[in-house]
Structure 1
Amino acid sequence: MAARCAQTTHGHPTGYYAAGALAAIVAYLTRGESVEGATLRALRLLGRHPGHEETSAALNQALDLAAAGDPTPEKVERLGAGWVAEEALAIGVYAALVTHRVEDALLLSVNHSGDSDSTGSICGNILGARYGDGALPHEWLEQVEGRAVIAALADDLAAECLRD
């Protein structure tokens, strides 16, 4: 469904498949998968669709870089700048995979010379689905404008999803 919706704004398969892959990763995470497991399952799902190759290659590169050890800004730059969908997805996934703390993942995902708000948003969606807002530093949460409204909406959404 996410890939179909993204077709309204992304005419190229890589753009809408990246959106679909992120939605699949988030869905798998909410069912208890690890970030790596969710990414691998999303890759299997992508493989069923013609034109998936660029998105799949970017995700595989993120998995390979994460397996190669400690995070570095240079490794982030190898994934691209995030100005196109598959690069932004790869950077967000890489940051979520390679770090051990939520704060480190978020900082890694935004501290590069590219489209850092997109890559940070993708990483934040992944980490939020995996760990919830309880994993964020309290001093970060205190600064979020409209936090009470956001929390209420998130709780309502979670409750609605549990009914399914």
Structure 2
Amino acid sequence: MQKDLYPNVAPSLRSRFRGCLLAGAAGDALGAAIEFDTRAAIIARFGEGGIRQYAPAYGLPCAITDDTQMTLFTAEGLIRGLMRYRQAGLIEYSQVTAWAYQRWLLTQGESNRSQLDPLHPDSGWLYEVPALHSRRGPGLTCLSALRDTETPGDPARNNSKGCGGVMRMAPVGLFADSAEEAFTLGCELSALTHGHPSGWFAGGAMAAMISTLRDGGDIDDALAVALDNLAGQLDADETIAALERAADLASTDLPYAEAVAQLGEGWVAEEALAIAVYCALVATDLQEALVIAVNH
């Protein structure tokens, strides 16, 4: 992780960083208006094709949700972790990112029970962005885990495998030096809020896939790398099975909606990851992938 920020980053790599984060935010905003709706409700409101254009959410013409908010705070934590390494020689990415999540918690109008103070001098800059001080359907597990944190950097003491860990892991894949490093760090950062193995293995797999794509691999390469990193890990069977099921369904002629329904609703980590992988495998372009992903 000893990379320079950012003068020597190749323009093509910068473009992948920007494109990855913007595409995630775009999909998040597309789905914000129907996040808690069933597919039947989506069709009733938008027609058989589902939602394909931005719709009002949270009082705005279109809006990101907590998913993008936490993705940004993940990126902030990683950047600050790198600066801490440069200044003090300390590799504390989990701890520094945990403090970033505490700042996100404050933007949601919540506070830590142990009275942690994440706003010490030079602690970060995202907290100063007024637009981020808005509740956008924050996950209950993320809120409760961060409220209950006693020592930033320690794993959460719960058994949740909700999607709130995996959904914020894209910056890890962009940041880490290798897919293997991304997998390990993705697991660690997901475990800050989600204690079930599937909750953090999905996050690690997501980060490893993003790292592979960043380095020029395609989605098939990325899936293979994720499965390689999961292989042999204790309690990773559920995540492996979900990814393999996504690949199997992508090779069929099932209508997209039927295939996604077989993967689940996406409220838990391995289902959310599997749906994302399926959409990436079957879509012909980014727009189609986002439309398939949100309409379930």
- TM-score scaled by length of structure 2: 0.37
Q: Separation in 1 of the partners of 2:193 and 2:291?
A: 28
Instruction: State the partner residue of 2:258.
Output: 74
SS in structure 2 of the partner of residue 94 of structure 1? helix
* Residue identity in the other structure for 2:221: G
Runs of 4+ in 1 over 4 A off after TM superposition: none
Unaligned runs of 5+ in 2: 1-184
Give the number of aligned pairs: 112
Instruction: State the partner residue of 2:15.
Output: none
Equivalent residue in structure 2 for 1:18, among 202, 210, 213: 202
Equivalent residues in 2 for 1:87-126, closer than 5 Å: 87-112=271-296
Equivalent residue in structure 2 for 1:64, among 210, 225, 248: 248
Instruction: State the partner residue of 1:147.
Output: none
Q: Separation in 1 of the partners of 2:282 and 2:253?
A: 7
SS in structure 1 of the partner of residue 265 of structure 2? coil
Instruction: State the partner residue of 1:5.
Output: 189
**1:82-135 Cα shifts (integer Å, max 9, x gaps):** 0100000000110011111211110000001xxxxxxxxxxxxxxxxxxxxxxx
Percent of pairs identical after alignment?
46
Instruction: State the partner residue of 1:52.
Output: 236
Q: Separation in 1 of the partners of 2:232 and 2:209?
A: 16
Q: Separation in 2 of the partners of 1:12 and 1:102?
A: 31
Q: Separation in 1 of the partners of 2:189 and 2:289?
A: 28
Q: Separation in 2 of the partners of 1:39 and 1:70?
A: 21
**In the TM superposition, what is the alpha-carbon distance from 1:32 to its structure 2 partner?**
0.9
- TM-score scaled by length of structure 1: 0.66
Equivalent residues in 2 for 1:125-144, closer than 5 Å: none
- Residues 105 and 71 (structure 1), Cα distance of their counterparts in 2 relative to 1, 3 Å cut: farther
**In the TM superposition, what is the alpha-carbon distance from 1:71 to its structure 2 partner?**
4.6
Instruction: State the partner residue of 2:212.
Output: 28
Q: Separation in 2 of the partners of 1:48 and 1:37?
A: 19
- Is contact 1:14-1:52 (8 Å) kept? yes
Instruction: State the partner residue of 1:142.
Output: none
* Residue identity in the other structure for 2:193: T
Supply the RMSD in Å over aligned alpha carbons: 1.0
* Residue identity in the other structure for 1:21: A
**In the TM superposition, what is the alpha-carbon distance from 1:70 to its structure 2 partner?**
5.8
Equivalent residue in structure 1 for 2:270, among 51, 62, 86: 86
Say which one has the larger Rg.
Answer: 2
**In the TM superposition, what is the alpha-carbon distance from 1:6 to its structure 2 partner?**
1.1
Unaligned runs of 5+ in 1: 113-164
